[in-house]
Amino acid sequence: QVQLVESGGGLVQPGWSLRLSCAASGYIFSTRGMTWYRQAPGKERELVASIDSAGFTYYAVSVRGRFTIPRDNAKNTVYLQMTSLKPEDTAVYYCKVIIDSRDYWGQGTQVTVSS
């Protein structure tokens, strides 16, 4: 079955960097686009970044220039490299894949940016 497992979250200070990982299994990873979302307390889940199977990327305006979304098809893993973190980046971060019109989500990893 399809499984997505996020890791790498934690508590960091403003301006620091953090790399999240999303390890995928249960499908042919290289053939699917991957997306990172986040949800802050009291807010709706929002799209952060996505990468398709060809490597084309999209970033939300709020993270452009600070976050990147590389993927390693050999490791079935997509990353979210976050730099210059701000308190407003505090959220639970989730990865998602769409297979046969169905959304599959990981369990999320908490990122807290605070001094």
pLDDT per residue as tens digits for the range 13-59: 999 999 999 999 999 999 999 999 999 999 999 999 999 999 999 99
pLDDT tens digits, one per residue of 48-97: 999 999 999 999 999 999 999 999 999 999 999 999 999 999 999 999 99
Q: What share of the chain is helix, strand, coil (3-state, %, to 5)?
A: 10, 50, 40
Q: Distance between terminal CA atoms of the chain?
A: 40
pLDDT in the model for residue 38? 98
43 phi/psi in degrees, rounded to 5: -120, 165
Strand duo 109-113 + 10-12: pairing: parallel
pLDDT in the model for residue 90? 98
Percent of the chain with pLDDT over 70: 100
Count of residues making up the chain: 115
* CA–CA dist 33, 30 (Å, integer): 8
pLDDT in the model for residue 100? 94
pLDDT in the model for residue 81? 98
